[in-house]
Structure 1
Amino acid sequence: MNATRTGLLTGLVLGLALAFGGFGAFLAVLVLGAIGFLIGRHLDGKIDLGQLFGRDRG
């Protein structure tokens, strides 16, 4: 899946959360999506979460 499709899907999900769940649901989906994105990038080996949070052991 390319970046355009991922962005479109993310926008649709956030729009639906805002339309049907209100602003609180929108923020919850946004935060959980960002956490899922970071975990996915970490599992793919494209981001080092230790460096991101200042726990560099090297």
Structure 2
Amino acid sequence: MNGTIGAAAGAILALTWITLGFGAFLLVAVAMLIGAAAGRVADGRLDLRALTEAFRGGRSSS
């Protein structure tokens, strides 16, 4: 399933780059990353507090 989703995402990005150029490619890629992160947060597989703390240089929970 993940391979199929990855292939579809790659095809979308490639077609965007070919038809609309690099700027549109970057915009679509960033939108896909934000959407994936939002989905992980909604599923409970991504803890934003821990992620924010890691970027601030806080201690990890491990």
The interval holding the TM-score normalised by the smaller chain is 0.7 to 0.9
Question: Hey, what does 2:51 align to over in structure 1?
Answer: 52
Structure 1: which amino acid aligns with 2:18?
A: A
Distance 2:28 2:50 in 1: 25
Could you say what the CA RMSD is over the residues aligned between the two structures, in angstroms?
1.3
Structure 1: gaps of 5 or more residues: none
TM superposition score normalised by structure 2: 0.80
Number of paired residues?
54
1:16 offset after TM fit, Å? 1.0
> % of aligned pairs identical?
41
Question: Hey, what does 2:38 align to over in structure 1?
Answer: 39
1:42 offset after TM fit, Å? 0.5
Runs of 4+ in 1 over 2 A off after TM superposition: none
Distance 2:14 2:35 in 1: 18
Structure 2: gaps of 5 or more residues: 57-62
Question: Hey, what does 1:15 align to over in structure 2?
Answer: 14
